[in-house]
Amino acid sequence: MAAVLTGPDEHAFAAIVERHRDELDRHCARLLRSPADAEDALQETFLRAWRHRAHFSLEGRWSFRGWLYRIATNACLDDLARRPRRVLPYDVAPPADPTAAPPPAADLPWLEPYPDRLLDERASRDLEPDAAAISKETLELAFLAAIQHLPPRQRAALLLRDVLGWPARDVAAALDTTVAAANSALQRARAALRKRLPTRREEWSRADATEQEQAILRRYMEAQERRDADAVTALLREDVRVAFPPMPLWYAGRDAFRTASDKFAAPGDYRMVATAANGQPAIAIFLHGPGDPEYRALVIEVLRIEDGRIAEILDFGDERLFAAFGLPLTLQR
């Protein structure tokens, strides 16, 4: 294999690299928090690997997979140096007055949901025996929103050490720094995350949605389709947060959300399609407005459920996301 990896046959090299595409894509998505940005970084990773393939044989400490992760990490760090961090409405605006009209959309680098269907497809194709360690748990939105507040090198140290399980010396080598500096970055990152992650997420672990969560999701969808505001409200925690990117808009608490919903809900009928994003229950919501012959894509809504109640709702109002979820833009009545 060494001759193929360092030789002139680009197609043979690409075939070997392609085996690692999906896990590297997830690694880039964690660092960059956008499927589109991750794909760009992945292409840059493969270009750099091809251009510098002769270096692989000179760096005998790395497996080929580890060498690719090192390149991908640095491609992402270069990208992060050029772009502002991705945000949610909580990061850019105070909680909204539920009686005030919603603001217009803002041209900001918003966090985006990552469809579970892509994670599941890619996990099923992973060829490395330890690929299961690189789980979708750390693509949960709470984790990804939290790490956006870390400086890029701290973010990389955390992912390489705590998600991929690399030893400290390999993390230091990947980041071109000392072991002491890499460990220092990791400790600062862990301390920062403890302040931002929900308490029950200190280990950032999450099993697939439980039967209870699925039952709550079904009740929520049915209540929304009936336009039963009382039933929807009963499923929410008192301290629920509800945000609406790309608007810099969010409501703090059940009462505020209920007030805003009663005042500003779009007229028409909803149709709900269950899906999943970032390892969390999600819904694609379609709206049939007055006089419209079809249901039209409205939002992708991602839910966080805690202790039998909905603790957070993120409404992503970009219809381009529907294609990533494998969904159409319209549904027939």
Which pLDDT tens digit goes with each residue over 66-89? Answer: 889 999 999 999 988 888 878 899
Query: Looking at residue 130, what is its pLDDT?
Result: 42
Query: Looking at residue 8, what is its pLDDT?
Result: 64
Q: How many CA atoms lie within 13 A of 87 on its CB side?
A: 17
CATH number at residue 274: 3.10.450.50
Report the percent of the chain where pLDDT is more than 70: 84
- pLDDT above 50 (res 323): yes
What sign does the dihedral 290-293-298-304 (CA atoms) show?
A: positive
Residues 164 and 50 in one domain: yes
Which contiguous run of DSSP H or E holds residue 298?
A: strand 294-306
C-alpha 34: how far from chain center: 7
Mean pLDDT of 230-247: 97
Query: Looking at residue 47, what is its pLDDT?
Result: 92
The answer to whether residue 10 is domain-embedded is yes
43-47, 57-61, 130-134, 281-285: range with lowest mean pLDDT: 130-134
Residues 137 and 224 in one domain: no
The answer to whether residue 117 is domain-embedded is yes
Residues 48 and 142 in one domain: yes
- pLDDT above 90 (res 218): yes
Query: Looking at residue 132, what is its pLDDT?
Result: 42
Tokens of 69: 């992760």
DSSP per residue, 63-130: -HHHHHHHHHHHHHHHHHHHSPPPB-HHHHSPPPPTTSPPPPP----B----BHHHHHHHHHH--STT
Pick from 201, 229, 252: which residue ends a domain? 201
User: Of 84-88, 129-133, 195-199, 231-235, where does the model show the most confidence?
Assistant: 231-235
Kindly report whether the peptide bond that precedes residue 246 is cis, defined as omega within 30 degrees of 0: yes
Residues 182 and 301 in one domain: no
Query: Looking at residue 247, what is its pLDDT?
Result: 97
Mean pLDDT of 269-274: 95
Query: Looking at residue 198, what is its pLDDT?
Result: 59
- pLDDT above 50 (res 204): no
Residues 226 and 85 in one domain: no
User: Of 192-196, 257-261, 321-325, where does the model show the most confidence?
Assistant: 257-261
Residues 72 and 216 in one domain: no
CA dist 226 and 274 (Å) reads 16
Tokens of 155: 């973010």
- Residue range 119-154, pLDDT digits in tens: 655 554 444 444 443 454 566 676 777 787 888 999
Reported confidence tier of residue 235, pLDDT bands at 50, 70, 90: very high
Nearest to 126 by CA among 23, 253, 246: 23
Pick from 201, 232, 257: which residue ends a domain? 201
Query: Looking at residue 294, what is its pLDDT?
Result: 95
Instruction: Give residue 260's domain range.
Output: 211-332
Residues 156 and 219 in one domain: no
Query: Looking at residue 124, what is its pLDDT?
Result: 47
Residues 219 and 263 in one domain: yes
15-24, 134-143, 166-175: range with lowest mean pLDDT: 134-143
Nearest to 78 by CA among 57, 107, 47, 55: 47
Query: Looking at residue 333, what is its pLDDT?
Result: 82
Domain count, the chain: 2
Residues 55 and 96 in one domain: yes
93-102, 203-212, 240-249: range with lowest mean pLDDT: 203-212
The answer to whether residue 148 is domain-embedded is yes
Please give the residue that has the higher pLDDT: either 53 or 296. 296
Q: Where are the alpha helices (DSSP H) in the chain?
A: 2-6, 10-18, 21-32, 35-51, 53-58, 64-82, 89-92, 116-125, 141-147, 152-158, 168-174, 179-196, 211-226, 229-234, 254-264, 321-324
The contacts of residue 87 (CB under 8 Å, 6+ apart) are 108, 109, 110, 111, 148
Give the global pTM: 0.71
Please give the residue that has the higher pLDDT: either 61 or 260. 260
The answer to whether residue 206 is domain-embedded is no
- pLDDT above 90 (res 269): yes
Query: Looking at residue 143, what is its pLDDT?
Result: 76
Query: For the chain, what is the mean pLDDT?
Result: 84
Residues 230 and 147 in one domain: no
C-alpha 18: how far from chain center: 22
Reported confidence tier of residue 207, pLDDT bands at 50, 70, 90: very low
Pick from 201, 222, 241: which residue ends a domain? 201
